[in-house]
């Protein structure tokens, strides 16, 4: 079949590898991070056979080394609309809406990622994609200038657009087309050291907000970080200085726990990079900070009930203990975070029984044997107690707006917190996107429910219901 289409999973894997190679060349410290994370992960798996077994049983062990997330910032609705189509070629869909303006960052965002469990285990590449909210620029003159600058740029190559259209029309790409598509798509994410504005315009944009200058002043939305997944972010944080890397003051997200929840992130400060400004009197040398290194550790996805508790606990700490850029209060913050989070159970079974987190259920060999013998209880909790029904945490595949804002702020080199009058505008975001973002909680609930249905089929029982405690 010379014209057979390759899978979107294959295209995504090709793109992930191309992006990683490009970013390693552009930001050598990224390669250092990859090596450090690989060392830490290998040590974790060697010391903790139970963790290795759990990851292997869940089909997640093989994905750890290839797992990456990137982040880009777009300037116009048209750019967002097209990026959705570009990521669709890779089997990635918009999941979740994140409003970062409430944390002083003038963007709103979504996460493009695979949503099918099999696709996630093949390659869970995800891209946190933000759209600049130009309406939050109070200076009308500057806002109009920024709009004109962005309207004039084209961040996708003509060939990339043609291959996106071919995928949409034909239902896929051949191997040759997929390779060409990846080569063209990577160009959108490449760093360009030449600004499209003069130094004076850059300064005005920069003085309004550093992130606005980053989005508006360049040919395209250079990827600003590419993040590997670690199994022990505290070890990575402690060992970064050994590799000549200075980490940010605190790890964003929940505290260290026996049972990891949601997402923890750390990073090193954005690099100061030489750029060239355009101008009537010739090129002018300058610098810009945008790209940085980030590491993440992923835990179980929380239910709406669990997430409400998490958000309440985190807000209580952040409201009382502020961590400055110098990190003078980092120790106090970590200590208080750990103390407050004692209110959230640190046991897989308690998280499950209290309906605080999502789990994947499976029938054990003992359960199948009991079903054959006709001695199977019909109560889900009795099945768990007897070892007939096993459960494993469903990994959180998404992001946390407070953590994302914290990473953005620390890497912009400022603790500045601007309060924008305009708040969440999901409708405008989805209009620009040309689609409705998917509900991440619904996706996790569907996976949990599907696993229970598979259990009922395997054990020959119907109407199996979980009982949760308040």
Task: Give the pair of three-digit tokens for residue 211.
Answer: 């992130």
Number of Cβ within 10 Å of residue 268's Cβ equals 23
- What pLDDT shows up at residue 325? 43
The torsion angle over the Cα atoms of residues 304, 310, 314 and 315, rounded to 10 degrees, is 40
Work out the burial of residue 248: count CB atoms within 10 Å of its CB; fewer than 13 is exposed, 13-18 middle, 19 or more buried.
buried
The angle formed by the CA atoms of residues 260, 264 and 265, to the nearest 5 degrees, is 155
What ranges in 196-329 are assigned the alpha helix state H? Answer: 199-208, 210-216, 233-239, 304-318
355 closest CA partner among 448, 428, 291, 452? 448
Which tokens sit at 86?
């570009």
Q: Name the residue among 263, 5, 12, 6 with its Cα closest to residue 123.
A: 12
Per-residue pLDDT of the chain (470 residues; tens, 9 = 90+): 456 999 999 999 999 999 999 988 888 888 888 999 999 999 999 999 988 988 888 778 888 888 889 999 999 999 999 999 999 999 999 999 998 887 778 899 999 999 998 999 899 999 999 999 988 888 899 899 999 999 999 999 999 999 999 999 999 999 999 999 999 999 999 998 889 998 889 999 988 888 899 999 999 999 888 899 999 999 999 999 998 888 888 888 899 999 999 999 988 777 788 889 887 666 788 888 777 778 999 999 999 999 999 999 988 887 666 554 444 466 778 888 889 999 999 999 999 999 999 999 999 999 999 998 888 888 888 899 999 999 999 999 999 876 655 555 555 554 444 555 556 689 999 999 999 999 999 999 999 999 999 998 888 888 777 777 76
Helix or strand holding residue 178 (H, E): helix 175-186
Closest CA to 69 of 96, 40, 92: 92
Cα–Cα dist 116/234, whole Å: 30
Distance CA(150)–CA(76), nearest Å, equals: 7
Nearest to 196 by CA among 283, 106, 76, 292: 283
Q: Which two tokens stand for residue 222?
A: 């250079």
Torsions phi, psi for 265 (to 5 deg): -140, 145
DSSP state of 464: -
| Closest by Cα among 387, 380, 392, 379 to 349 | 392
What are the residue ranges of helices labelled H in 63-174? 77-88, 117-122, 140-152, 158-170
273 pairs with which residues across the strands? 288
Our CA dihedral for 14, 18, 20, 21, rounded to 10 degrees, sits at 140
Contact (Cβ atoms closer than 8 angstroms) between residue 221 and residue 128: no
With b for 16 or more beta-carbon neighbours within 10 A and e for fewer, the 42-76 pattern comes to: eebbeeeeeeeeebeebebbebbebbbbbbbbbbb
Q: What is the β-pairing status of strands 126-132 and 107-113?
A: antiparallel
Q: Read off the pTM.
A: 0.90
DSSP states of 335-364:
HHHHHHGGGS--SHHHHHHTT-B-EEEEE-
Nearest to 32 by CA among 186, 327, 239, 274: 239
């Amino acid at each position: 079949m010379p014209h057979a289409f390759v899978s979107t999973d294959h295209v995504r894997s090709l793109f992930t590898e191309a992006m990683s190679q490009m970013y390693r060349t552009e930001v050598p410290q990224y390669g250092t991070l990859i090596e450090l994370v690989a060392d830490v992960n290998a040590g974790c798996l060697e010391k903790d056979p139970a963790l290795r077994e759990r990851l292997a049983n869940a089909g997640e062990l093989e994905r750890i080394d290839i797992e990456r997330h990137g982040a880009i910032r777009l300037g116009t609705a048209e750019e967002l609309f097209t990026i959705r189509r570009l990521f669709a070629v890779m089997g990635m869909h918009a999941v979740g809406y994140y409003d970062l303006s409430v944390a002083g960052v003038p963007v709103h965002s979504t996460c493009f990622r695979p949503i099918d469990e099999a696709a996630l285990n093949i390659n869970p590449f995800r891209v946190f994609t933000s759209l600049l909210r130009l309406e939050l620029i109070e200076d009308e003159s500057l806002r109009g200038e920024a709009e004109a600058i962005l309207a004039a740029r084209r961040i996708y190559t003509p060939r990339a657009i043609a291959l996106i259209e071919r995928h949409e029309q034909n239902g896929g790409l051949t191997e040759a087309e997929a390779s060409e598509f990846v080569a063209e798509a990577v160009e959108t994410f490449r760093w360009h050291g030449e600004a499209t504005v003069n130094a004076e315009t850059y300064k005005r944009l920069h003085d309004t907000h550093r992130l606005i200058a980053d989005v508006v002043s360049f040919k395209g939305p250079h990827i600003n970080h590419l993040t590997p997944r670690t199994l022990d972010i505290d070890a990575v944080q402690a060992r970064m200085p050994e590799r000549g890397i200075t980490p940010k003051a605190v790890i964003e997200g929940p505290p260290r726990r026996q049972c990891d929840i949601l997402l923890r992130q750390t990073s090193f400060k954005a690099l100061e990079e030489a750029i060239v400004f355009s101008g009537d009197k010739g090129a002018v040398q300058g610098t810009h900070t945008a790209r940085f290194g980030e590491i993440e550790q992923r835990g179980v996805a929380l239910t709406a009930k669990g997430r409400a508790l998490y958000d309440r606990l985190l807000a209580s700490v952040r409201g009382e203990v502020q961590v400055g850029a110098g990190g003078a209060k980092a120790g106090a913050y970590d200590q208080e975070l750990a103390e407050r989070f004692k209110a959230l159970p640190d046991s897989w079974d308690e998280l499950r029984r209290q309906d605080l987190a999502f789990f994947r259920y499976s029938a054990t060999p003992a359960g199948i044997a009991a079903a054959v013998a006709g001695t199977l209880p019909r109560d889900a909790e009795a099945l768990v107690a007897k070892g007939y029904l096993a459960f494993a945490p469903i990994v959180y595949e998404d992001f946390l707006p407070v953590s994302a804002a914290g990473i953005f702020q620390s890497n912009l080199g400022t603790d500045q917190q601007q309060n924008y009058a305009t708040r969440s505008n999901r409708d405008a975001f989805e209009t620009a996107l040309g689609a409705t973002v998917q509900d991440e909680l619904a996706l996790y609930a569907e996976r949990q429910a599907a696993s229970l249905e598979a259990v009922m089929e395997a054990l020959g029982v119907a109407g199996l219901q979980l009982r949760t405690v308040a």
